[in-house]
A and B are shown apart, each in its own frame.
Chain A
Amino acid sequence: MSRIAAFVTLATLASSALLNAAQAQTKLPPETIQIGLSTDTISINSNFAGTALTIFGALDGADPLIQRQGRYDLVVVLEGPEVEQVVRRKARVFGMWVNTASASFDLAPLSYIAASTRDLKDITDKQSFSKLALGVNALKLDSNADKTAIAGEFADAFKKINGASGAYSESSGNVEFISQNLFRATLQLPASIPVGQHQARAYLFRNGTFIRESSAELAIVKSGTEQAIYRAAQDQSMWYGLASVAIAVVIGWLGNAVFRKG
């Protein structure tokens, strides 16, 4: 029995040594991160006025020295469903404001809420963010506009409007380490958070270098009667249309009946 146990121990040691050697060869960083959501679905009702979403994560294999120096940084993003969107620009035509130019963006997220340990500009440089397409400024929007200058103008307007409405936001200081290897991100979801499949992503940086990311899915759905009506209008539009007509007929007929009595 003891011989078998020893053999197993030896084998484990050998395999971990091999693993270490392999890691050293490809220079894979030892740190790994994993985020988790306490729920995979958030239901919001019609009085929903925004909420704080907490995402917990684990950082394993952290170097205690770097951790003590606070040189690990995290950016956590909740990205809304991606749909094709059009930005239109108005200009005066005979004194009236008319949509005269437009650019459409393929698969731009409806919402983009980022939280980070520090200001993004203090975490790493612009090039790194741009490579990761991380942060509102670095977010890539593919447009159909002919000229890059025009595409840039519409992309800026797109981000500005979304920033003003709260759909796109960045805030720092709300990702914190609560222990050596556990962290917590708090994201402020606005009242207008779009329904649909959202993607939560955490990006780990060590000394300003991107190391790893981890992601999780989150569905945001509307609850209650309003949602049922909305779904009916989208999925069962024929029955929905017939029901709308039927309701009007009943109210119109009732109106006449009441009117006749009065």
Chain B
Amino acid sequence: MGIYLPIAELSVNLFTLLAMGAAVGFLSGMFGVGGGFLITPLLILYNIPPAIAVGTGANQVIATSLSGALVHYKRRSIDFKLGGLLLVGGIAGSSLGAIVFSLLRRYGQLDLTISLLYVLFLGVIGGMMLIESVSSMRAAKSDQTVIPPATTMKPNLQTLIHRLPWKMRFEVSKLYISAIPVLVLGLFIGFLSAIMGVGGGFIMVPAMIYILKVPTNVVVGTSLFQIIFVSAYTTFIHATANHAVDVVLATCLMVGGVIGAQYGADVGQKLKGEQLRSLLGLLVLAVALRIAYGLFVTPDSIYTIATTGAS
């Protein structure tokens, strides 16, 4: 059954969209991730214009992060004060990202930038995940004590963070740190969120653990909590400034995603942590490689036409 996407202005198969949403929802349920970093590249590979893939990806992330954050809210594993501060940085970063997005689109470099950012971040994160999980699987096999992943940052970065002014107390996370690194991290993730159409959990979670030293039990909930609002803001900005949110597309993906997430979570509970991380690492790397391939393969035509919007 065909369905017409009013903003992307093309006809697609409804069941393909639902299946795509379900597959990504399954994986997000299984790995506990938002899925924006999978949905946006998938949409681009499915010939949705990259700008609309990003705007719609941000829209889809609201639903998955809200669904996940509600679970953490009941478990009381959200640090609202820390999340709120990250959010302040996130809103600023997203605004900045949306301006850069418009500029890149005007100069015809948006598609390339989106692809390069995906290759860079997915490549690095996927590679690190794979290496870390394989080495911990090996360690478990040879019956050694599992060496924790490189949790220690360069000592000078840690001392720098401790020397920064404007210290604040975060009771839930049992932290007493400067507001500056929190705001900067929020800003950075918000910026990526606007350009890549992701929630940014896959960068936020490791950064909170390794840089801010947030206890692992509140990391995911707090990250999800702030992602809801940053992605809602990003969706709003992309809808108003860039007309890049396709609500029909987003709805199909979210409906599929919600269903898929239930089954994914069941499977996720049956797999071991290392297995999960190595599978996710492989998946992330595969997406990165596919996007990289698209950058190097000779296009059908070296010329493209775009309307600049001015009439």
Contacts and interface: CB of A to CB of B under 8 A. Distances in A.
B152 to A, nearest CB: 35
Interface in B63-78: 63-67, 70-71
Interface string B247-259: 1101100110110
Contacts, number: 174
A243 to B, nearest CB: 7
B303 A252 contact: no
B296 A256 contact: no
B6 A88 contact: no
B298 interface: yes
Nearest to B64: A252
A138 interface: no
B236 interface: yes
B311 A256 contact: no
Contacts of B308: 83-86, 104
B258 to A, nearest CB: 3
Contact of A244 (B250, B262, B298): B250
Interface string B1-41: 01010110001000000000000000000000000000000
Interface in B252-311: 254-255, 257-258, 261-262, 265, 295-299, 301-311
Contacts of A21: none
B239 A240 contact: yes
A253 to B, nearest CB: 6
Contact of A99 (B112, B232, B237, B250): B112
Contacts of B250: 244, 247-248
A162 B251 contact: no
A249 B104 CA distance: 30
A253 B66 contact: yes
Contacts of A98: 109, 112
Contacts of B237: 241
B296 A88 contact: no
Contacts of A90: 299, 302-304
Contact of B306 (A85, A227, A248): A85
Interface stretch (A23-31, A119-127, A177-185, A229-237): A229-237
B307 A83 contact: yes
Chain A contact patch, size range: 35 or more
B303 A161 contact: yes
Interface residues of B, number: 55
Contacts of B215: none
A26 to B, nearest CB: 38
B311 A259 contact: no
A33 B65 CA distance: 64
Interface in B33-84: 59-60, 62-67, 70-71
Contacts of A87: 303-305
A46 B4 contact: yes
A244 B245 contact: yes
A256 B75 CA distance: 14
Identify whether the interface residues of A are mostly helix, strand, loop, or mixed. helix
Identify whether the interface residues of B are mostly helix, strand, loop, or mixed. helix
A233 B108 contact: no
Contact of B255 (A83, A86, A241, A251): A251
A149 interface: no
Contacts of A160: 303
A251 B306 contact: no
A47 interface: yes
B71 A256 contact: yes
Nearest to A97: B299
Nearest to B260: A255
B232 A245 contact: yes
A255 B258 contact: yes
A47 B257 CA distance: 27
B304 A88 contact: yes
B236 A259 contact: no
A199 interface: no
Contacts of A241: 235-240, 245
Contacts of B71: 256, 259
A237 B302 contact: no
Interface string A107-126: 00010000000000000000
A258 B311 contact: no
Given A82-B311, A253-B70, A245 B59 contact: yes
A256 B72 CA distance: 11
Contacts of B59: 244-245, 248
29 contacts: A47-B4, A83-B311, A84-B307, A87-B305, A91-B302, A97-B296, A104-B308, A110-B307, A157-B303, A226-B6, A227-B6, A230-B6, A240-B245, A244-B59, A245-B232, A247-B247, A248-B59, A248-B63, A248-B66, A248-B250, A249-B62, A249-B232, A252-B62, A252-B228, A252-B254, A252-B258, A259-B261, A259-B265, A262-B262
Ranked nearest first, the 8 interchain pairs of A and B with the lowest CB-CB distance are A241-B239, A252-B66, A46-B4, A255-B258, A252-B63, A248-B62, A157-B303, A241-B236
Interface of A: 46-47, 81-91, 95-99, 102, 104, 110, 154, 157-158, 160-162, 226-227, 229-230, 233-234, 237-238, 240-245, 247-249, 251-256, 258-259, 262
